[in-house]
Structure 1
Amino acid sequence: MLVQSGKWLSAEGPESDIVVSSRARLARNVSGFPFITRADRTQMEELEDYLSGRLKEIIKDGVYFKMSDLTEIERGVLMERNLISRELCDATVPSGVVFSLDESESVMINEEDHLRLQVIEPGLRLREAYNRINELDEKIGEVVEYAYSDRFGFLTACPTNAGTGLRASVMLHLPALIMTRQMPKVFETVYRLGLAVRGFHGEGTSASGDFYQVSNQKAMGRSEEALIDDILSVVPQIARYERSIREALVEQTRKRLEDRVWRAYGLLSSCRLVSTEEALDMLSLIRLGLSLRILNKIDANIVSQLFVLVQPAHLTKRSGKEGLSEELRDAERADFIRQYFAVN
């Protein structure tokens, strides 16, 4: 599990120089059980047992973890891989997650809702992600009776998720727009369409490594296809804008851009101390350099994997050394990146 990250970070798929991944998520609740906010511990334990057994039969090559069986670091690893949310990572109630071996499919149990289904595809493959999650949803719906209202659609703990229960998102790498301070224009366009912009790990997180997610905000009152269309109407525009700014940077400030890219590569190839934030910033520049053919000394897939593998929980789990000081942790990160570059 710590060797490489999931299929969604493979640097493959349509528009993969800018569009990292496409995700579809569905919120579902089970008829006859109270929402998590109103359920007692016994009910949540019963629900976890009930759902985990059925999910393991549906995702046949899947791995299931009860949150109570995991250490804080192990939970952190799952969150850094986008297999669980921050809420489930911090959960104290009976809960769990099942996911496929390639990590493209996952289902959280007893997060904000009884079930949170997720499918992630590499590149701009949002329709494919939706088609896959629709199939998974239908399979689960055959063995689990969902809470559904003819008036409101699928019932969810948060009203903004009710209706379709769909949250669709696309993750983009936008270093050129950030360098040239053009992101406010992107935010304005996205918000005007009723969409949201979030950080690397979703709502309430920062844009680590120059990654942003564009997603729908509400799930009620519109069809799944319309929600997908909204996102697909704006993401290609953002990608073209980012690409045009990259080309302008090459034409107007090539030496300066080359210097930044090669400095980033040189730093990570030889440094002895590097923080998470600095590592992600340098990896972002290297990824940009690869897409512009400024740099060709490393495979883009390796760089994509490192965005996950250098994060704190992965680093601690791999080293087997919990409770490290910040300096020792930064030293472990620098050692790992140097070794990873050397063998890849």
Structure 2
Amino acid sequence: MSTTSLLEHWNRLKHAKSTSFLKRNMTELIFRQLKDRVTFHNGTLLDCIKGGCINLDSGCGMYASDPEAYDVFSEIFHPVIKDYHKVDQVSHPNPDFGDINNLGFGDLDPSKRYISSTRVRVGRSQAGFPFHPTAKLKDRIELESRAKNALETFSGELKGSYFPLGEMSKAKQHELTEDHFLYLQDNRFLGDANVYDDWPIGRGIFYNPAKTFLVWVNEEDHLRFISMQEGSDLGTVYKRLVTALKFVDENTDLKFAHHPNMGYLTYCPSNLGTTLRASVHIKIPCLAGQPYFHDFLEKYHLQVRGVNGVHTEMVGDVYDISNKRRLGLTEIQVVREMIKGVEAVLAEEKRLDGSDTTL
């Protein structure tokens, strides 16, 4: 892209009404400092901010062109990261998933009245590989090959099959989409940030027969590991995910991009650090109808999404509630923070619907 194109995008954002973290933190001085810098993979400032300049209703507004971009363009990434994650400095502890055989938590909703399903996911990037804006077709194909070889070594509960998206029948795609398992090429925010380049080559999904363990390949991140099941047994879901990640680390050639101050590196700065999002699909019509709903979630560092993912609408009274903070905490701390928040949500819903017998 030319410098003129970058200036056009910047001028559009600069004069627009936008609440994105990019808009809130980018200044003319920072722009001029960064406009001519280039990463090892030829990533530019335009690659990082284009999506947020096109979509003025973006939340974050930024993506990294490649792992190195977080350092090359640190003058804008660091303020955005601190603003989003509500931290005073960009720092992150060493990974700590806790003792998975003695977690101290399990079923969040034994009554099965409110929570319909639970999932925990993490994003991972293959070290040395570019992200979508700077990736070439050969990069996507090589990454898919490496991922497929590694994933097919799983055994036991995690053992499954890999399905390339380009070879998947329409019927299979429909089935997996209806079950909320498969990612789609339908998100304008991701599309304008180059996530769908060369689609569907290099993309696919791995899952076990029970569909409780899935891995997305080359969607937003290089890899997205997902543990999920119906009900609210977070302990089982979390343990399954940690077991899978440990196996990959110890038994495969996949090596994940990791930064001493930012943790695991992902395409979007909102997912840095642990990259971990623990979520429940929860029916909370009373709380959701309150004017203080979003303030209540913010108090407990929770975020709400539609059940079909980010930028999707709510379905009925069911909401996707998850932890918001991923940086500056260990994995086990993130999960415990999410548990505290969900417990507060459940308690408030029960108070409002009159089912709290402690009153």
Query: Would you say the 8 A contact 2:300–2:340 is kept in 1?
Result: no
Letter in 2 for 1:194: H
Q: Is the 8 A contact 1:28 1:147 kept in 2?
A: yes
Q: Is the 8 A contact 2:272 2:327 kept in 1?
A: yes
Once residues 53 and 162 of structure 1 are traced to their aligned partners in structure 2, the CA distance between those partners, rounded to angstroms, is 26
Which amino acid in structure 2 is aligned with residue 69 of structure 1?
E
TM-score normalized with structure 1 length: 0.62
Q: Which amino acid aligns with 2:206?
A: V
> What percent of counterpart residues are identical?
28
Q: Which one is further off, 47-56 or 218-227?
A: 218-227
Task: Identify if the C-alpha distance between structure 1 residues 86 and 243 changes in structure 2 by more than 3 Å, giving closer, same or farther.
Answer: farther
Query: Given the superposition, is the C-alpha separation of residues 84 and 223 from structure 1 closer, same or farther in structure 2, using an over 3 Å criterion?
Result: same
The residue aligned with 1:78 is 176
1:111 and 1:165 mapped to 2: Cα distance? 15
**2:142 matches 1:34:** no
- Provide the secondary structure at the position in 2 that maps to 1:50: helix
Greater percentage in helix = 1
- Cα offset for 1:247? 4.0
Q: Pick from 148, 154, 157 the counterpart of residue 58 of structure 1.
A: 154
Question: What is aligned with 2:349?
Answer: 242
Matches of 1:136 and 1:117, distance apart in 2:
8
Alpha-carbon distance in 2 for matches of 1:235, 1:140: 30
- Partner AA of 1:28 in structure 2: R
Amino acid at match of 2:135: A
Q: Distance in 2 between matches of 1:102 and 1:48?
A: 23
Give distance in 2, aligned partners of 1:192 and 1:237. Answer: 10
5+ residue gaps, structure 2, are: 1-107, 188-195
Q: Which of 116, 129, 133 is the aligned partner of 2:237?
A: 129
**SS of 2:292 mapped into structure 1:** helix
Task: Flag the 1:116–1:87 CA change in 2: closer, same or farther, 3 A.
Answer: farther
Residue in 1 that maps onto 2:259: 149
The residue number in structure 1 matching 2:294 is 187
- Contact 1:113–1:157 under 8 Å retained in 2: yes
The CA deviation at 1:36 is 3.1
Structure 1 residue ranges without an equivalent (≥5): 1-11, 249-344
**Displacement of 1:103:** 0.8
The secondary structure found in structure 2 opposite 1:209 is coil
Per the TM alignment, residue 82 of structure 1 is displaced from its structure 2 partner at its CA by 2.3
| Alignment partner of 1:49 is 2:145 | yes
Distance 1:82 1:209 in 2: 16
Letter aligned with residue 98 of structure 1: F
Check the 8 A contact 1:27/1:156 in 2, yes or no. Answer: yes
1:14 is aligned, of 110, 129, 146, to 110
| Aligned alpha-carbon RMSD (Å) | 2.5
